[in-house]
Amino acid sequence: MWPSCRLTLVVLSLIIGGFRRPDLGQRLDWSHPEQRTGDCMIGMRLSGAPWFIVSVGGGYKDAISYGHSGCTSISPNTDNHQQNITMAAPPAPQPPSLLGYHRVLSPLAGVRVSPLCLGTMHFGGQWAHTMGEVTKETAFALLDKFYEAGGNFIDTANFYQGEGSEKWIGEWLAARQNRDELVIATKYTMSYRHTGPEKIKSNYQGSHSKSLRLSLEASLKKLGTDYIDLLYVHMWDFSTGVEEVMQALHHVVASGKVLNIGISDAPAWVVVKCNEYARFHGLTRFCVFQGRWSCSYRDFEREIIPMCQSEGLAIAPFGVLGRGQFKTADEFQQGGTRNMGPQEEKHRLMAAKLAEVGQRKGVASTSIALAYVLHKSPYVFPVIGCRTVEHLESNIEALAVELTDEEIYEIEDATPFDVGFPMSFLFEMPGQKYRSDMTTRHIWQVTCNTRLEAVPKLRPIEPKQGYNQMDRK
Q: Which residues are catalytic?
A: 160
Residue 269 phi/psi, 5° resolution? -65, -30
| Euclidean distance between CA atoms 319 and 350, whole angstroms | 14
Cross-strand partners of 301: none
Residue 235 phi/psi, 5° resolution? -160, 155
Bridge-based pairing of strands 153-155 and 183-188 is parallel
Maximum alpha-carbon separation in the chain: 86
Secondary structure of residue 190 in the 3-state scheme: coil
| Euclidean distance between CA atoms 36 and 59, whole angstroms | 6
Cα 362 off chain centre by:
26
**Closest listed residue to residue 120, CA positions, set 66, 182, 42:** 182
Q: Indicate the helix (H) or strand (E) that contains 271.
A: helix 268-280
| Euclidean distance between CA atoms 172 and 174, whole angstroms | 5
Backbone angle region of 327, left / alpha / beta, with phi > 0 → left and psi within -120 to 50 → alpha: beta
Separate counts of helices (H) and strands (E) for the chain:
15, 13
Cβ neighbors of 47 (< 8 A, separation 6 or more) are none
**Closest listed residue to residue 350, CA positions, set 389, 402, 294, 290:** 294
HSE-up (13 A, CA, CB side) for residue 190: 20
| Euclidean distance between CA atoms 169 and 225, whole angstroms | 11
Contact 105, 378 (CB under 8 A): no
Contact 260, 287 (CB under 8 A): yes
Cα 85 off chain centre by:
36
Does a cis peptide bond (omega within 30 degrees of 0) precede residue 91?
Answer: no
